[in-house]
Structure 1
Amino acid sequence: MNRGNKILKVENIDKNINNKQILQIRKYSVIKGKFNFIIGANGSGKTSLLNILSMIDNDYQGTIYYKGKIISKKERNCELRRRFSVIWQEPYLYRGNVYHNIALPLKLRGFNKKIIHKKVKNISQKIEIDDLLEQSVYTLSGGERQKVSIARALVTEPEILFVDEATTNLDEESINFFNSHFADLVTEEMTVVMVSHDRRQIKELADRIAYLKKGKILSSQAREEFDFSQLGAGICSSIEEIV
């Protein structure tokens, strides 16, 4: 597999909210099979860019390419988006138990009960929540809720996984679990686009880093080539620990 292919690309992206420019991006590419990190200070437009890349947000000007083909707004339908999964900073779980939440995207994709059961058991064991499958989501801790959210995102084996600061509100134990296990949970064929402030995640996971400032990408490079000295305070609390 050629792991240098551009699976997603955007050009001339302009995003405005209430007449305020949120994003102005001339060009950005997501490389297939890589951990593509997007970093920047709060309010720099990271989540807005993630929403456009994942085709959740269609209210912008510009062009998006998927596997080299221009994707019109009409083509950004459920069928295409089902190839993607998103892990949000604040996990949203549906009423019911943990099993139901993880199984739901498989049901929506038409898998039969036997395959659903096998896939749910497999991912829940990897994330160490198999003992919670019959438990109501309303009884879960914050860390457990995020683990369920991660399992639900991964169970479909998405082509592209989008991650929006998934560890921001987690306790230290849950953060350590995520950082230690996440790379092992992602298959070789999967592409990851991750927004993060976590220096350990950047150090251990990033293949490529895009630096976003005031809605513009100032640099997008392989991690080994990235100049961390350009980052301001608040982006990574200890730059020397990354480099």
Structure 2
Amino acid sequence: MALALNGKRVPVFRHTGHEKRCYEEIREEIGEENGEKVTLRHRYETTEALFARDIIVWRNGRAILDVPTLSVRQGEILAVLGVNGAGKSTLLKVLALLEKPDHGDIYIGGTKAWSGKDTLSMRRRLGVVFQEPLLLRGTALYNACLGLRLRGVKRSEASRRALKWLETFDVARCAHQDVTTLSGGEAQRVSLARVFALEPEILFLDEPFSSLDPPSRAVLFKELAAVLLETGMTTVFVTHDLNEIPGLATRVIAMHEGRIILDDDVGTFSSRSPEEILSVYTGNLRTR
């Protein structure tokens, strides 16, 4: 399959017809406001939710991440694009306070991280979902409650909030099943329910659809997009799949060899020629 841009087709992205239809439905039918269709790209503010400055991460004598500056506004959905090894996941871990950079500063809601303050408390303001569902042995409900319980929320309240999100992601029927019996898609839905139950200030997604089969990926993508529209949650998501960008992102950055080589709003990105997009994706065209 191919991605259609400006009437042309990019021949390198393989998706089923069913999956491509789901992406188009998100872009065109995700919601209405005052009788007009609304997409996620309309929903962000000017207030800064996250700011990073002079970020460097070293490995084996070389900088695998070098980001002079990056900001994310409240309600913005930032796609981080690039091939394997471009530095996407390292950037996400640094921004989510899971890895301390060797140099530079991270600010969450204006508060500086790693500055002697309680880093755990700051980290608890954030939510992360990885490629593989990280679930502990036990029921789906136990896992969905876990983050809340670790934050001191009473069992009854944690269960109420977790069940709400299990229902939202269509796995309430699995609440009392052991997670070892769940499909990959169901397990990832439980992971999403767990993080949304925490109501994080910023959500980080590290290719959360990559381990799913195409039909499951497309359906979960659509459901997640609808939830982000409803909640207005600030989101940073890592992807190497261009098809995920038009229906989900409001802004796109592309990375190559640990550096940001492009920073576009989604409209500008989508208006680029297929040749430009492929060049940016592979790191052969730099716009910064």
* Same fold flag (TM > 0.5): yes
Q: 1: CA distance between counterparts of 2:225 and 2:83? A: 24
Paired residues for 1:34-73 under 5 Å:
34-73=76-115
**Stretches (4+) displaced over 3 A:** 227-236
Paired residues for 1:180-195 under 5 Å:
180-186=222-228, 187-195=230-238
**CA RMSD, Structure 1 to Structure 2 (Å):** 2.0
Paired residues for 1:97-176 under 5 Å:
97-176=139-218
Q: 2: CA distance between counterparts of 1:73 and 1:50? A: 19
Report the CA distance between 1:200 and its aligned residue: 2.9
Correspondence for 1:212: 255
Report the CA distance between 1:235 and its aligned residue: 4.4
Secondary structure of the corresponding residue to residue 91 of structure 1: coil
Q: Is the 8 A contact 2:78 2:249 kept in 1?
A: yes
Report the CA distance between 1:117 and its aligned residue: 2.0
Report the CA distance between 1:222 and its aligned residue: 1.2
Correspondence for 1:9: 51
Q: 2: CA distance between counterparts of 1:67 and 1:190? A: 14
Report the CA distance between 1:67 and its aligned residue: 2.3
Aligned-partner residue type, residue 251 of structure 2 = R
Report the CA distance between 1:234 and its aligned residue: 10
State the Cα deviation string for residues 119-154 of structure 1 (Å, max 9, x = none). Answer: 122111111111111111111221111111111111
Which of 248, 273, 276 does residue 230 from structure 1 map onto?
276
Correspondence for 1:93: 135
Determine whether 1:201 maps to 2:244.
yes
Output the TM-score relative to the length of structure 2.
0.76
Q: 1: CA distance between counterparts of 2:44 and 2:237? A: 21
Output the TM-score relative to the length of structure 1.
0.90
Q: Is the 8 A contact 2:113 2:122 kept in 1?
A: no
Q: Is the 8 A contact 2:80 2:252 kept in 1?
A: yes
User: Would you say how many aligned residue pairs link Structure 1 and Structure 2?
Assistant: 236
Report the CA distance between 1:73 and its aligned residue: 4.3
Q: 1: CA distance between counterparts of 2:193 and 2:151? A: 16
Report the CA distance between 1:221 and its aligned residue: 2.3
65-74 or 9-18, larger mean C-alpha shift: 65-74
Correspondence for 1:240: none
Q: 2: CA distance between counterparts of 1:22 and 1:114? A: 45
In structure 2, stretches of 5+ residues that fail to align are 1-42, 283-288
Report the CA distance between 1:44 and its aligned residue: 0.5
Q: 1: CA distance between counterparts of 2:72 and 2:280? A: 25
Q: 1: CA distance between counterparts of 2:215 and 2:75? A: 28
Give the fraction of aligned pairs with identical amino acids, expressed as a percent: 31
Structure showing greater Rg: 2
